[in-house]
Structure 1
């Protein structure tokens, strides 16, 4: 029983990490796109 609870918590942890990774990726992509558009507008 305890093992199963630990397993569920571990999966929740992985899902949380995945969400964190996705939001970080989106943040970086938006930064890159913003910089790209600023460079395009300069020329």
Structure 2
């Protein structure tokens, strides 16, 4: 499994996680997760 497949798989899991979030606390965590994820994405 190449690095890109891992990133794509991770992205899919991440998007599923985003869709399942609805409450305020989850949205707050989601915005933090997006910031972290964007930093990680920049690294790749």
Alignment TM class, shorter chain as reference? 0.3 to 0.5
Q: Does 1 or 2 have the higher relative contact order (CA < 8 Å, sep 6+)?
A: 2
Q: Which structure has the bigger radius of gyration? A: 1
TM, length-normalised to structure 2: 0.46
Give the number of the structure whose residues are more often helix, by fraction. 1
